[in-house]
Amino acid sequence: MSPEMPTPGRSEGTTWRRRGRRYVCPLLVRQFPSELPFGFLGRVAPPSPGVELTLEADRIPADRALEIVQGARSVAETELLDGGGGASVAQLEVERRSADELGRELAGRLQELWRVGLRWVASADSRARAEGERLRLTERLAAVGFRTRVPRYEIAEALAPPGRWGGQRRPSGYWQTMTTDGLAAFYPFGDESIVDPGGVLVGLSLSDASPVFLDRWAQASYSWGVFGTTGAGKSFAASLIALRTRWLRPETELVVLDPLGEYAGLVQALGGTVVHLRDPSQGRLNPLDPVTTGGDLREKASRVVTMLRALWPSLRDEEAATLDAAVSRLYARGDREPTMDELAEELARGPAADGRLPTLAEVFRTGSLAGVNGPTTLQVEDRTLAVDLSGLPEEHLPFHLTYVLDWTYHRLVGRPGPKIVLLDEAHLIARHPGTIEFLDRAVRHLRHFRAGLLLLTQDPEDLLQSSSGRSLLRNLSATAFLRLAEVSPACRAFFGLSTSEAEWLTKARLPTDAGYAESLWRVGPWHLPLAIIASTPEYELLGSALGGGRDLPADPASAARAGGL
């Protein structure tokens, strides 16, 4: 009879043990991946009673830690001198370099070394099921680069509770040497300071489903960014944040700049107004109205030039200079509200009257932008408002967005209470140096009157290209990355993402597959992998409000379970 045959009453085999009614099967780590994949715990051990991880850690004194690292460095050095031996020269060079780097970090007290005892235990109500659970765990660990070992004839040592063996009798593979960063990767993100009292729920930790609350009003800047490829769930996440903010602080004003016309349902559900820019019967916004700068005509003239350059990106330098001069003359006429008609006249009168500009300006008189020709007539008093830009020619969107942003900015100045401006499809503005600079300035000033921007765009690269874009990114107090198509080295470096984080982001699960969105939040020093998940009532509200009626997943409860609820 094989020693592994289940015998009635038998309580231990070479690789398993019975504990009460359950069978437990330990698993040890033989070799770690070169870098711990980000968020790996959530993937390797999805919340289930069948898998348990035990960890004990002792700090290695600093002088001993340095000795270990120097030892590793000299081994690599010696092998390199010997021409590499069995290992590749490139690999040995990497080892030597990382030993040098770690040595510096240890000396600077940026890292420490730890002696870590690590063991996984799979369990189930039958031996076969427990072994199956261990096998699946082995496969999941292998998929993220771990090599594991099933301890044989060492069951007592492998399963002994932490501390009992005083560190002496453990199976090989139990003790590992790790850096503080490596050890930290094993911990769920339960730090109290990321649970802002009075904050909104932004997501559930992917490693242990603990909720993470953030309070933008307690942060240095009230502006956040949300980045993700198409369909990653940006608009949904932003709507969820807006909704939860309103529940928590009903006095919060919300203005949505909505290029695709997706937010009408949400804004109406919140009792607000939707302004359709394509519909002149609702009233007009005059891009030239100097009220937006509180009568500061120089500032207004410069914003108008920015708007028009976004409309006519092909202007040559001399044309831009002519435009600038015409706009200045327009405002030099005094503190009154000019119209596009007057601007066209001014362009026709100037030194370049026979150039392209007067022809381009015809668009405001007889062309598709005639709707903005005339004084401002739009009046909206609601605390909740969407400006819907859908149905307008795509090439005009940067222009429309810029003057609407100018108008929004003015509207929020001086009003009491917290305010959020949600700007979707921000890439439309980010591509033009003038408009992105305007947005950057707006973000910096918004906080002085308790307003924050919620900026959404598909690719952070859009903003990394210019110094204003980078300045804007630095002024976001939270950045949420959803699935990204790719993460460039420049993007990694700017946001301080590790290679495994960057790699993980290109594979983060999409809401269409998972029923929730996987995301990585950068908040201060923290990098938090979170599931952005809506409760059923939220989902029902947003599902029908956003984009006018989206389908519910077949089984929202299973989506919630998959999210670790």
Ligand X SMILES: Nc1ncnc2c1ncn2[C@@H]1O[C@H](COP(=O)(O)OP(=O)(O)OP(=O)(O)O)[C@@H](O)[C@H]1O
Residues that bind ligand X (CB under 6 A): 228, 230-236, 458, 511-512, 515-517, 532-534, 543, 546, 550
Using CB under 5 A as the binding criterion, the count of chain residues that bind Mg ion stands at 2
- At 533, phi and psi to the nearest 5? -135, 135
- Angle CA(479)–CA(480)–CA(486) in degrees, nearest 5? 105
Q: Helix, strand, or coil here: 383? A: coil
Which does residue 311 touch among Mg ion, ligand X, none (CB within 5 to 8 A, set by kind)? none
H helix runs in 367-508, sequence order? 397-412, 427-430, 433-446, 461-464, 467-474, 489-495, 499-505
What is the smallest separation between the CB atom of 460 and ligand X, expressed in angstroms? 13
The distance of closest approach from Cβ of residue 221 to ligand X in the complex, given in angstroms and rounded to an integer, is 23
| Residue 171 binds which entry of ligand X, Mg ion, none, CB below 5-8 Å type-dependent | none
| CA dist., res. 90 & res. 510, Å (int) | 37
Verify binding: residue 235, Mg ion, rule CB under 5 A.
yes
Cβ contact 484:227 at 8 Å: yes
Q: Which residues face 493 on adjacent strands?
A: none
Nearer to ligand X, 344 or 517 (CB): 517
Q: Between 199 and 511, name the residue whose CB sits nearer to ligand X.
A: 511
Q: Report the run of H or E that residue 90 belongs to, with start and end.
A: helix 89-107
DSSP 3-state of 537: helix
Select from Mg ion, ligand X, none the partner in contact with residue 543, using the beta carbon and a kind-dependent cut-off of 5 to 8 Å: ligand X
Look up residue 12 and give its DSSP letter: B
Least distance (Å) from ligand X to the CB of residue 234?
Answer: 4
User: Which partner, Mg ion, ligand X, none, binds residue 231 by CB below 5 to 8 Å per kind?
Assistant: ligand X
Does 229 bind Mg ion (CB under 5 A)? Our answer is no
Binding partner selected for residue 460 from ligand X, Mg ion, none, CB under the kind-specific 5 to 8 Å limit = none
Placement of tokens 């007057």 in the chain: 342
Least distance to ligand X from the beta carbon of 453, Å?
Answer: 16
Q: Which is nearer to ligand X, 331 or 504 (CB)?
A: 504
Least distance (Å) from Mg ion to the CB of residue 261? Answer: 11
CB of 392 to Mg ion, least distance (A): 17
Contact range with Mg ion by CB under 5 A, out of 232-240, 301-309, 384-392, 532-540: 232-240
Shortest distance in whole angstroms from residue 203 CB to Mg ion: 18
Closer to ligand X by Cβ: residue 469 or 511: 511
DSSP conformation class of 248: H
Nearer to ligand X, 260 or 370 (CB): 260
* Total residues belonging to the chain: 565
> For ligand X, which is the closer residue by CB, 401 or 546?
546
- Nearer to ligand X among residue 83 and residue 549 (C-beta): 549
457 binds Mg ion (CB under 5 A): no
For residue 5, with 0-12 CB atoms within 10 Å meaning exposed, 13-18 middle and 19 or more buried, which class applies? exposed
Nearer to Mg ion, 235 or 435 (CB): 235
- The region, left, alpha or beta by phi > 0 then psi within -120 to 50, assigned to residue 552 is beta
The CB-nearest residue to ligand X is 233
Q: Which two tokens stand for residue 533?
A: 């998940």
Shortest reach from residue 424's CB to Mg ion, in Å: 6
Structure token pair of residue 505: 């982001």
Rounded CA separation 159/155 (Å): 6
CB of 200 to ligand X, least distance (A): 14
CB 144 within 8 A of CB 43: yes
Residue with smaller CB distance to ligand X, 111 or 235: 235
Interface positions with Mg ion (CB under 5 A): 234-235
